[in-house]
């Protein structure tokens, strides 16, 4: 009985610690195996805890409309990238992208159609970044792309293919083509993420001022 109670108390303690990790936002914290070994109420709670972790991660880290990572998870990724650059010498490029004349889409066809365009663009970006890096909705009609292990010229070539794929999007049941402008830059070891983002944002501004539907890279 003493051994049973000790084992039960240990499992309850680990369950409590797991739930506290979830409460602290550590949604990838691994569920202790001991909680799943007995067919009892604690195992049932552990199953519920895992479901809760998945649901909370989706709610907190993903954009509900586009199903891309949201700005919170993008900021987290940028912090991780900065550390890897310093500690491991890895190379990264970052891009801020914006849907051209998106306000006109909303004004002409309505916000529901605008939402559909956002979903279609997000799907192209997500598909285009598979095996290349990370895509997130940065806010409104802006998106953030992070290219892993790429020199600037390689990232630009891969981004050009994504841009061409976006050009195949048309507002449903219309002849209005969707295009995007892109500001791309290489991240520099030792600089802050804000410095890299500011450079990418300046490149995006230049792309928009220069006629849109293009990549500015430097």
Q: Which of 116, 141, 151, 191 is catalytic?
A: 141
Contact 103, 185 (CB under 8 A): no
Q: In 193-214, which positions are buried (b, 16+ CB within 10 angstroms) versus exposed (e)?
A: beebbebbbebbeebbeeeebb
Residue 84, C-beta contacts closer than 8 angstroms, at least 6 positions apart: 90, 92
Look up 141 and say whether it is catalytic.
yes
Contact 178, 212 (CB under 8 A): no
The dihedral formed by the CA atoms of 124, 126, 128 and 131, expressed in degrees to the nearest 10: -170
E strands, the chain, in order? 92-99, 133-139, 142-148, 180-186, 215-217
**Cα–Cα–Cα angle for 194, 126, 57, rounded to 5 degrees:** 75
Backbone angles phi, psi at 131, to 5 degrees: 80, 0
Q: Which residues are catalytic?
A: 141
């Amino acid at each position: 009985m003493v051994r049973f109670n000790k084992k039960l108390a240990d499992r309850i303690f680990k369950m409590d610690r797991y739930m506290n990790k979830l409460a602290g936002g550590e949604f990838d914290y691994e569920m202790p195996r001991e909680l799943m070994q007995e067919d009892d109420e604690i195992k049932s709670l552990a199953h519920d805890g895992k479901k809760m972790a998945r649901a909370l991660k989706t709610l907190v880290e993903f954009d509900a409309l586009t199903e891309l990572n949201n700005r919170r998870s993008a900021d987290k990724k940028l912090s991780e990238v900065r550390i890897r650059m310093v500690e491991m010498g890895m190379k990264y490029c970052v891009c801020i992208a914006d849907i051209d004349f998106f306000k006109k889409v909303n004004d002409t066809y309505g916000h529901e159609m605008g939402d559909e365009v956002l979903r279609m663009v997000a799907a192209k970006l997500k598909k285009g970044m598979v095996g290349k890096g990370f895509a997130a909705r940065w806010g409104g009609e802006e998106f953030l792309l992070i290219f892993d292990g790429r020199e600037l010229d390689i990232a630009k070539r891969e981004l050009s293919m994504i841009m061409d794929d976006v050009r195949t999007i048309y507002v449903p049941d219309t002849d209005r083509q969707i295009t995007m402008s892109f500001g791309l830059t290489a991240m520099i070891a030792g600089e802050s993420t804000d410095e890299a983002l500011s450079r990418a944002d300046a490149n995006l501004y230049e792309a928009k001022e220069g006629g849109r539907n293009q990549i500015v890279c430097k």
